[in-house]
Chain A
Amino acid sequence: MPAPDHRAPAVEVQLLTREFKGGIRAVDGLDLEIAPGEIYGFLGPNGAGKTTSVRILTTLLRPTAGVARVAGHDVVHDADAVRRSIGVALQEAAIDPLMTGRELLRMQGALHGLRGPAARERAGELLERVGLTQAADRRVGGYSGGMRRRLDLALALVHRPQVLFLDEPTTGLDPTSRGALWREVRALNDEGTTVFLTTQYLEEAEQLADRVGIIAAGRLVAEGTPDALKARVGEPMLHVELAEPDSAERARTALSGLGAVELADPGAPTRVVLRTAAGKGAIAPVIRALDEHDVVVESVEVETPTLDDVFAAVTGSHLEGAHGRAGEPEAAGAPG
């Protein structure tokens, strides 16, 4: 078996296809490449092909056509080498509820070639890392959803994998547990682990991913950094609510140097809208400019395109659970 090329992409997929009985193509000609050390977010609705793609890349499913390499190894012809290089935390946390967390970690260590003492030591390290030391000797059936996810992550890290696959890791978790898992993913990435993350949560993709690939009907429909993708569908907008209806013209004059200005609704002249690539960064200059022209401001709201807007632009429909209207306004409040 040739040694892997460490300059090779962490994940490399060419024309990957997976067809099921009945001619259903869950993955249809997928192409993507992930650099070592990247966090790649794979975003798409239910049924888009995310989990099927992950199962192929983690050697749990064979492709019908195409080529996939993980850590430099072919997933079909060199599957064992792939398995040695990857850690996997699947969508349905595949954990035996009758075992304890410690037992599972030690078993996983044995499966990855760790001898008894080494497996025990590694289990202890990981239990501490994911905050499960206190619960280590309790059966997993009594764990909360968040604890199970953390254990699942620990199991995926037993052998210090080069590439970590997380399939919807925070589905069903409360915000606190989700945030804790995000912090852990970032910490792992800081240590050099490549992370391939599937999610249907826009915020998760935006918060974690260096690059995002949007998948729909088994194909990659858009790819890029979150900011670059959102810039494709439009600039952020600042909605400025004015205290005095007759100050709209002065507001337009004041803001004209900062971007394109328009009245939000000619019938309601107390709001002007400024389009600017600076987004939230333009709030302070806007307030200063309006102040210099004696315009009193009630509030400023920032509306930015979301990845759902990107999805809608390329597919014509929205992601499930995403907001139906474009953007997610954030109120900045009236200046004091």
Chain B
Amino acid sequence: MIAAAAREGRVVAALGRRALSVQFRRAQLLMPTFVLPLMLLAVIASGTSAAQGLRGFPDIASYLAFVLPGTIIQGALLAGLTSGTALAADVEFGFFDRLLAAPVRRTSLVIGRQAGTLGLSALQTVFFLAIAYAFGARYPGGVGGMLATVGLAAITAVGIGGIAGAIALRTGSLSLLQSIFPFVFVLLFTAPAFFPRELLVPALRDASVYNPLTYVVEAVRGLLAGDAALGDPWLGLAAATGLAVATTVLATLALRERLRTL
């Protein structure tokens, strides 16, 4: 049993390595995941910085550091989506058949893909933290806060990757996955990604309660600032982990359904 588990672990590692390395060779997908969030960050950080003067805005040292968690979570969303897109391409162009014809557990095919997503998001978050630091963001939460942020973002990316993967496996349609990209922003803006929850309009504030990304963004904010009043890290971890587990199961079920109905 241990040998079997070790074997499947090597399979997951091989698939994760492949998913990650190939992602860096797809320039058309790399740009959105690494550059687009930073462009939005630049616009928001410079264009809306007066918001920190609003009543009810938390007392913060750096507006850039305040809005950075929104960028990090946006990046995680995009990482998860591009992972799903890559899976849809594998299904549509036949590479997935090669994996299905191998003697590996079906769940390992899903988990391997998720492992690649985890790695991509981790690298992406480190990149965002470094760029923001270069532009003056500071992280009172220290190395611990940054590492926890990287982990939380990566788990969130796995959660989104699970949804995208489930769609990819049910439909096998690359174009459908690509058309979902704009809806990512709906998820992001119904969470307090760039503004405190208290300052959102009532409708958005109510909606944000049901959005797991709300708790993740706030947790990242609290971790980087070293201030749990800005966001409970454990609540964020619970939300991200719950999302990741639920959607990975969803993707696995989608794969089983696909194989059953083939």
Contact present for A61 and B7 (CB under 8 Å): no
- Chain B residues with CB under 8 A of A83: 101-103
Alpha-carbon separation in the docked complex, A111 to B108 (Å): 10
- Chain B residues with CB under 8 A of A58: 101
Alpha-carbon separation in the docked complex, A59 to B11 (Å): 19
Contact present for A96 and B99 (CB under 8 Å): no
Alpha-carbon separation in the docked complex, A112 to B90 (Å): 19
Binds B, one of A87-95, A122-130, A321-329: A87-95
Q: How many A-B residue pairs have CB under 8 A?
A: 70
Report if B262 contacts A (CB, 8 A).
Answer: yes
Report if B209 contacts A (CB, 8 A).
Answer: no
Contact present for A92 and B26 (CB under 8 Å): no
Report if A108 contacts B (CB, 8 A).
Answer: yes
- Chain B residues with CB under 8 A of A250: none
Q: A60-B97, A81-B103, A112-B102 are in contact. List 13 more A-B contacts (CB 8 A).
A: A60-B100, A62-B260, A62-B262, A80-B103, A83-B101, A88-B98, A90-B94, A95-B95, A98-B26, A107-B15, A110-B11, A113-B7, A115-B10
Q: Which residue of A is nearest B7, CB measured?
A: A113
- Chain A residues with CB under 8 A of B10: 110, 113, 115
Report if B31 contacts A (CB, 8 A).
Answer: no
Report if B93 contacts A (CB, 8 A).
Answer: yes
**Knowing A107-B14, A111-B11, A111-B14 touch, does A155 contact B22 (C-beta < 8 A)?**
no
What is the 8 Å Cβ interface bit string for chain B, positions 212-254, against chain A (1 contact, 0 not)?
A: 0000000000000000000000000000000000000000000
Alpha-carbon separation in the docked complex, A323 to B13 (Å): 51
Contact present for B102 and A61 (CB under 8 Å): no
**Knowing A58-B101, A83-B101, A88-B101 touch, does A94 contact B94 (C-beta < 8 A)?**
yes
**Knowing A80-B103, A108-B102, A110-B14 touch, does A98 contact B93 (C-beta < 8 A)?**
no
Alpha-carbon separation in the docked complex, A111 to B259 (Å): 19
- Chain B residues with CB under 8 A of A81: 103
Report if B55 contacts A (CB, 8 A).
Answer: no
Contact present for A96 and B101 (CB under 8 Å): no
- Chain B residues with CB under 8 A of A32: none
In the complex, which range does the number of interface residues on chain A fall in? 20 to 34
- Chain B residues with CB under 8 A of A139: 25
Q: Chain B interface (Cβ within 8 Å of chain A)?
A: 7, 10-11, 13-15, 17-18, 21-22, 25-26, 90, 93-104, 259-260, 262
- Chain B residues with CB under 8 A of A110: 10-11, 13-14
Contact present for B95 and A111 (CB under 8 Å): no
Q: List 27 interface pairs A-B (beta carbons < 8 Å), by A numbering.
A: A59-B101, A60-B97, A60-B262, A61-B262, A62-B260, A83-B101, A83-B102, A83-B103, A88-B98, A88-B101, A94-B94, A94-B95, A94-B96, A94-B97, A95-B98, A96-B18, A96-B95, A99-B21, A99-B22, A103-B18, A107-B15, A110-B14, A111-B99, A111-B102, A111-B103, A113-B103, A139-B25
Alpha-carbon separation in the docked complex, A315 to B220 (Å): 70
Interface positions, chain A 16-59, Cβ under 8 Å from B, are: 58-59
Alpha-carbon separation in the docked complex, A98 to B13 (Å): 18
* Minimum CB–CB distance for A335 against chain B, Å: 54
- Chain A residues with CB under 8 A of B100: 59-60
Report if A120 contacts B (CB, 8 A).
Answer: no
- One of B14, B25, B93, B260 near A94 (C-beta < 8 A): B93
Report if A186 contacts B (CB, 8 A).
Answer: no
Contact present for B101 and A98 (CB under 8 Å): no
